């Protein structure tokens, strides 16, 4: 029993020192090699070459039957483990050296105004000089790992909030060889000048650089966009069309803005957003490829032959390089088609306006105050005028007269009233019997329709003053007394003068 105890303790210690079967193993035989993969590769390569030499030696001995089959199989197993370890070391370093870079990210616009981004990716992976010295680049094992190829690259575009703004949402590149860049194309779902390019590749490596998009200089034009490209505008008023100007040119940086096909009776001018002065030319700089401008237009007060109401009018804003001004200056008053503008190869945007009129009901009353005797109707006269730009229909009047007063309007309803037309209306207010002396007010509201929309005039208040009625008998007596008094004074004056 005493002899067995030391053997048991020795076996227990030996078992504790052995690694547990089935536990995860590092690809490197030395724990420090995890932090220094190039040193691990050197160690793995050395072990691999020793195992290969030992296998070749054992093979010769085995063929000469100088060693047993078990020894030869042990050498094979050792070589196999060394080979796997060497491959793992190579893969670790290869994945560490993989890198996908962005060569270009170019933004352009199609004929149907879609924004396109083309991203060119390049495999810039490369082993260091020391790595090249450790590994024979022509080695079959090394070449089988395809060190110059990165597999399964996933690319997408996102904004600052992390939302994907590319269509398709993600593009996969099966493999990217060193020295053979690949270009992927996206449609921008949100028009931005800066985007984040999300790249996932290899064994899960990822990059998310934020890039400023180049402009496709081959277009050689200014692209124009307007969010409010179609507007309904009332006659006699103004409207603003916001314009976003974006340069896609490597040749020109100064352009002139012109409006084509806008009626001559409509005034127009351009100004830069945030500034009050008018502009006709714009200049881009290297740091400023986007300019925001406004087109301001004003319509005449009344419909004209070239500005009919309720009919859409299409026109164009174009940005012409200064060098091409002579091609259009002599044709500004012509009617242009979209094909004519496309032939100029300039940037343009199609805009639309729909002139609308609106009636304006105005009541002009020269007299809002009158006196009455309490018996006869009190009359008021006023004018109903349409000072708007559209016909007024069904003009009605509503009176809030004092209690028991009779009210009458002639005419009670005006069927229609044209632009700048006016009608005379009479209002009659009759007080009830035994009306008290005092001031009485009647409020009048006027309503109408213009293009099926309600139009109201300012309320008017008519005031009637009822005065007290004088007594006829009392007035006669006072008159006779005055006459008698005057006669008496004259009579006595004559008598006194004779004495």
Say which range, 19-33, 277-291, 337-351, has the weakest mean pLDDT. 19-33
Is the model's pLDDT at 211 over the cut of 50? yes
pLDDT at 28 over 80: no
Kindly tell me if the per-residue pLDDT of 397 is higher than 90.
yes
Would you give the end-to-end CA distance of the chain in angstroms? 191
Mean pLDDT of 376-384: 94
Mean pLDDT of 477-495: 78
CATH architecture of structural domain 219-356:
Sandwich (2.60)
pLDDT the model gives residue 113: 72
Closest by CA position to 38, among listed 98, 82, 96, 81: 96
Report the distance separating Cα 359 and Cα 390, nearest Å: 5
Largest CA-CA distance found in the chain, in angstroms, rounded: 197
Report whether pLDDT(320) > 50: yes
Q: Would you state the pLDDT for residue 39?
A: 64
CA–CA dist 117, 108 (Å, integer): 6
- Pinpoint the residues of the chain covered by CATH 2.60.40.10: 361-466
Does the domain made of 100-215 have the CATH classification 2.30.30.100?
no
Q: Are 120 and 149 in contact (CB under 8 A)?
A: no
Band (36; pLDDT cuts 50, 70, 90): low
What is the average per-residue pLDDT within 16-39? 45
Cis peptide before 411 (omega within 30 of 0): yes
* pLDDT(13) > 50: no
Residue with tokens 């004559």: 494
pLDDT of residue 324: 84
Least confident interval from 31-35, 96-100, 423-427: 31-35
Give the model confidence (pLDDT) of 83-108 as tens digits.
Answer: 888 777 766 666 556 788 899 998 88
* Cα–Cα distances in angstroms (integers) from residue 337 to residues 85, 223, 269, 341, 407, in the given order: 73, 18, 22, 7, 62
Tens of pLDDT, residues 167-205: 999 999 998 887 889 999 999 998 888 999 999 987 778
Mind giving me the DSSP string for 171-201? EEEEEEEBT--EEEEEEESS--SEEEEEEEE
Q: Does the pLDDT value for residue 159 go beyond 60? A: yes
Query: Looking at residues 212-234, what average pLDDT do you find?
Result: 85
Q: How far is CA 314 from CA 133, 230, 266, 305, 338, in A?
A: 71, 9, 13, 15, 11
Torsion of CA 301, 306, 312, 314, to 10 degrees: -120
**What pLDDT does residue 80 have?**
86
Residue 14 has pLDDT above 70, yes or no: no
Both structure tokens of 41: 């590769």
For the range 326-329, what are the long-range contacts, defined as Cβ-Cβ under 8 Å and sequence gap of 24 or more? Answer: 328/258
**pLDDT tier at 25 (50, 70, 90 boundaries)?**
very low
State the chain's mean pLDDT as an integer.
82
The answer to whether the beta carbons of residues 229 and 242 sit under 8 Å apart is no
- The pLDDT of residue 246 is 87
Query: Percent of the chain, pLDDT > 70?
Result: 83
Domain(s) of CATH 2.60.40.150: residues in the chain: 100-215
Q: Average pLDDT for residues 335-340, to the nearest whole number?
A: 90
Q: Give the pLDDT of residue 460.
A: 94
Give CATH for domain 25-97.
1.10.287
Task: Look at 23-32, 66-75, 376-385 and tell me which has the smallest mean pLDDT.
Answer: 23-32
Return the structure tokens found at 410.
């002639």
Specify the higher pLDDT residue, 493 or 346: 346
- Average of per-residue pLDDT across 472-499: 73
- What confidence score (pLDDT) does residue 2 get? 39
Report the pLDDT averaged over residues 415-439: 91
189 φ, ψ (degrees, to nearest 5)? -85, -15
User: Which residues make up the CATH 1.10.287 domain(s) of the chain?
Assistant: 25-97
CATH of 361-466, one of 2.60.40.10, 3.40.50.300, 1.10.540.10, 3.40.50.620: 2.60.40.10
pLDDT at 166 over 70: yes
pLDDT at 215 over 60: yes
């Amino acid at each position: 029993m005493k002899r067995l105890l030391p053997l048991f303790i020795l076996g227990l210690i030996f078992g504790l020192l052995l690694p547990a079967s089935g536990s995860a193993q590092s690809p490197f035989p030395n724990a420090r090699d995890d932090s220094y993969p190039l040193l691990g590769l050197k160690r793995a390569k050395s072990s691999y070459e020793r195992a290969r030499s030992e296998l070749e030696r054992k093979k010769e001995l085995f063929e000469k039957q100088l060693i047993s089959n078990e020894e030869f199989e042990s050498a094979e197993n050792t070589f196999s483990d060394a080979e796997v370890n060497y491959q793992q070391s190579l893969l670790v370093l290869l994945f560490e050296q993989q890198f996908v870079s962005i060569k270009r990210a170019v933004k352009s616009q199609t004929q149907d105004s879609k924004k396109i981004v083309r991203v060119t990716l390049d495999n810039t992976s490369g082993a260091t000089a020391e790595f090249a010295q450790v590994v024979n680049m022509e080695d079959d094992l090394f070449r089988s790992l395809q060190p110059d190829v990165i597999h399964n690259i996933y690319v997408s575009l996102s904004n600052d909030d992390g939302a994907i703004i590319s269509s398709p949402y993600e593009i996969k590149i099966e493999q990217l060889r060193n020295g053979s860049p690949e270009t992927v194309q996206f449609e921008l779902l949100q028009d931005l000048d800066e985007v984040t390019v999300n790249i996932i590749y290899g064994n899960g490596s990822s990059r998310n650089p934020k890039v400023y998009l180049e402009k496709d200089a081959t277009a050689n034009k200014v692209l124009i966009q307007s969010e409010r490209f179609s507007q309904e505008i009332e006659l006699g008023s103004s409207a603003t069309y916001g314009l976003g100007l974006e340069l896609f040119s490597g040749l020109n940086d100064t352009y002139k803005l012109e409006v084509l096909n806008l009626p001559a009776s409509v005034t127009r001018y351009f100004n830069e957003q945030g500034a009050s002065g008018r502009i006709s030319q714009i200049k881009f700089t290297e740091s400023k490829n986007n300019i925001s401008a406004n087109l301001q237009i004003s319509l005449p007060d009344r419909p004209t032959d070239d500005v009919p109401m309720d009919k859409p009018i299409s026109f164009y804003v174009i940005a012409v390089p200064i060098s091409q001004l002579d091609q259009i200056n002599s044709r500004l008053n012509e009617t242009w088609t979209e094909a004519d503008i496309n032939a100029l190869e300039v940037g343009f945007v199609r805009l639309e306006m729909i002139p609308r009129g609106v009636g304006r009901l105005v009541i002009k009353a020269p007299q809002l105050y009158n006196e009455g005797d309490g018996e006869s109707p009190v009359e008021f006269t006023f004018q109903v005028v349409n000072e708007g730009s559209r016909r007024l229909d069904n003009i009605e009047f509503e009176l809030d007269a004092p209690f028991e007063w009779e009210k009458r309007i002639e005419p009670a309803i005006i069927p229609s009233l044209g632009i700048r037309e006016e009608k005379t209306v009479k209002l009659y207010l009759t007080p009830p019997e035994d009306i008290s002396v005092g001031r009485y007010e009647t409020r009048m509201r006027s309503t109408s329709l213009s293009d099926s929309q309600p139009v109201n005039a300012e309320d008017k208040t008519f005031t009637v003053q009822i005065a007290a009625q004088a007594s006829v008998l009392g007035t006669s007596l006072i008159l006779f007394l005055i006459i008698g008094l005057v006669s008496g004074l004259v009579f006595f004056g004559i008598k006194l003068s004779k004495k």
